[in-house]
């Protein structure tokens, strides 16, 4: 293949595209959409994080403002954990609007994460919101198909394709040149999106960007470039194998519908059908039944905890809990927290495994659908995927467990077993000594591990599309 010929063919495609007034109108509308999506995503990020930070500070202030009191009362008083949005969530909303962002943390119980945008919004949210990733994944691929459906099919109909071949251009050069030209043309939509994304994430939080954020952004650029390269080659291949431009357009519209709408929705429904999830009431009932089986730690006559009391008395060589060197109530609450947390964690793990099985079917479709791959990669590196939500829940649960056990430890250390005339309370300075909840985003390594299949699929699609194009060049005909 001659590089000079490939470049000439690519430039010719570029010039032909700009001769059409449709491209100018399309670009104008695209820039307006991109600007609106970038600004609305940035504003949503700023407003949501401001609100969540405010209430996290309010929850902390309320916690620290408690007077001297019994530590077990503080364990039940609890606190809140709020999930902050990642900067790149302004690029891809992902599941952000459908998963909760706050959870109440208290002793002996794991509460669900609440206050999702969907739960507070009208049904119109089901139609989706315009964001930059949605434009890149859904709208702009359709534009690429429209701009490229006739680049070879039209020339076949006009007999100019035959002239190009008789003048010395090989099929390899034509296919690679057209693909290169269409890829460069797609950058008219891609580059403004990435430039505005970088601009807006740079204007948040004191105009600073961390290395991890830049690395996430760089990976998004690389993967989207692969995605657009695949789309461009598919467009050229379909155009090259179609007898007319009309047939090419119909085929590409069918591919768009299958890739972006039919296949993802069908596989999601199939996953739910094969691995149904229990309702919230069913799930809570199952957990409650298991907790009841383990006994009631607040009931001194409970058989299970009475056995624990007898073993503790025997181990410490005393006959009464009043003679123990630590507060027995705090010890029992400590043991109860271990038991209840283990039960909650087991059932939560089982539930997450069901969700994982549901998603696995759709995830593996990335091997036959590049849209699935880029969708998961985009959400993951924007911090708006299901794995980020699960990680927040795990972090919140670890914090809740540490808080409850810290209060139990304080009770064991400072509250006497024997009742006295003085109230059983400890100094409020202990509340301030316990650190506030801080949410940490998933590491790059964890995301890469989670999205290995999606990244592999994009690379595989890129390689296969080039191989198919090379093989097609040996069999393609000008007529």
Residues 315-339 pLDDT 10s: 899 888 888 889 988 999 999 899 9
Q: In which band, very low, low, confident or very high, does the pLDDT at 4 lie, cut at 50, 70 and 90?
A: confident
pLDDT at position 296 is 74
For 383, list phi and psi in degrees, rounded to 5: 75, 30
Task: Judge whether residue 404 has pLDDT over 60.
Answer: yes
pLDDT at position 255 is 95
% pLDDT > 90, the chain: 61
Task: Judge whether residue 379 has pLDDT over 90.
Answer: yes
Structure tokens at 56: 């996290």
Can you tell me the mean pLDDT for 304-310? 83
pLDDT at position 122 is 47
Q: What are the domain boundaries of the chain?
A: 3-475
Q: In which band, very low, low, confident or very high, does the pLDDT at 128 lie, cut at 50, 70 and 90?
A: low
User: Hunting for tokens 């005339």 — which residue is that?
Assistant: 421
pLDDT at position 479 is 63
Task: Judge whether residue 365 has pLDDT over 50.
Answer: yes
Residues 420-472 pLDDT 10s: 767 788 999 999 999 999 999 999 999 999 999 999 999 999 999 999 999 88
- Regarding predicted confidence, which is higher, 321 or 222? 222
Task: Judge whether residue 308 has pLDDT over 90.
Answer: no
The H-assigned helical ranges of 415-451 are 429-433, 444-450
Between the alpha carbon of residue 302 and those of residues 163, 298, 327, 436, the distances in Å are 93, 8, 18, 35
Structure tokens at 192: 């403004």
Helix 328-364 vs helix 452-475: crossing angle, to nearest 10: 10
pLDDT at position 124 is 44
Task: Judge whether residue 120 has pLDDT over 60.
Answer: no
Task: Judge whether residue 123 has pLDDT over 60.
Answer: no
% pLDDT > 70, the chain: 96
- Regarding predicted confidence, which is higher, 88 or 479? 88
For 379, list phi and psi in degrees, rounded to 5: -65, -40
Can you tell me the mean pLDDT for 136-148? 94
Between the alpha carbon of residue 108 and those of residues 308, 312, 444, the distances in Å are 18, 21, 33
């Amino acid at each position: 293949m001659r590089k000079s010929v490939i470049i000439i063919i690519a430039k010719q495609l570029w010039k032909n595209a700009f001769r059409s007034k449709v491209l100018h109108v399309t670009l104008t509308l695209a820039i307006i959409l991109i600007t609106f999506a970038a600004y609305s995503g940035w504003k949503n990020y700023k407003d949501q994080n401001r609100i969540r930070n405010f209430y996290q500070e309010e929850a902390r202030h309320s916690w620290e403002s408690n007077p001297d009191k019994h530590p077990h009362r503080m364990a039940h008083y609890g606190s809140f954990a709020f999930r902050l949005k990642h900067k790149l969530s302004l690029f891809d909303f992902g599941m952000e609007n459908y998963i909760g962002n706050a959870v109440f943390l208290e002793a002996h119980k794991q509460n669900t994460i609440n206050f999702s945008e969907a739960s507070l919004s009208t049904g119109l949210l089901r139609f989706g919101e315009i964001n930059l990733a949605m434009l890149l994944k859904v709208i702009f691929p359709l534009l690429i198909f429209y701009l490229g459906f006739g680049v070879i099919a039209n020339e076949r109909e006009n007999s100019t394709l035959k002239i190009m071949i008789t003048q010395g251009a090989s099929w390899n050069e034509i296919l690679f040149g057209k693909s290169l030209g269409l890829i460069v043309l797609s950058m008219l939509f891609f580059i403004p999106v990435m430039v505005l994304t970088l601009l807006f994430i740079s204007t948040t939080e004191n105009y600073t960007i961390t290395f991890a954020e830049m690395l996430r952004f760089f990976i998004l650029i690389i993967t989207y470039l692969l995605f657009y390269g695949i789309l461009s080659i598919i467009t050229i291949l379909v155009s090259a194998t179609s007898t007319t431009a009309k047939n090419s357009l119909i085929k590409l519209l069918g591919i768009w519908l299958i890739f972006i709408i039919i296949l993802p929705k069908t596989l999601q429904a199939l996953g739910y059908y094969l691995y149904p999830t229990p309702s919230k009431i069913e799930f809570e009932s199952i957990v409650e039944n298991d907790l009841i089986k383990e006994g009631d730690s607040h009931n001194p006559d409970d058989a299970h905890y009475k056995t624990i009391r007898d073993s503790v008395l025997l181990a410490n060589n005393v006959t009464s809990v009043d003679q123990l060197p630590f507060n027995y109530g705090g010890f029992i609450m400590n043991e109860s927290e271990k038991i209840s947390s283990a039960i909650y964690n087991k059932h939560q793990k089982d539930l997450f495994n069901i969700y994982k099985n549901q998603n696995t079917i759709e995830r593996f479709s990335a091997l036959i659908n590049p849209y699935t791959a880029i969708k998961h990669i985009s959400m993951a590196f924007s911090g708006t995927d299901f794995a980020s939500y699960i990680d927040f829940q795990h972090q919140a649960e670890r914090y809740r467990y540490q808080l409850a056990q810290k209060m139990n430890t304080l009770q064991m250390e400072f509250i006497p077993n024997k009742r006295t005339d003085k109230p059983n309370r400890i100094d409020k300075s202990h509340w301030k000594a316990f650190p506030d909840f801080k949410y940490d985003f998933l590491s790059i390594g964890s995301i890469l591990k989670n999205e290995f299949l999606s990244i592999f699929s994009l690379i595989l699609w890129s390689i296969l599309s080039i191989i198919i194009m090379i093989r097609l060049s040996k069999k393609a005909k000008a007529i």
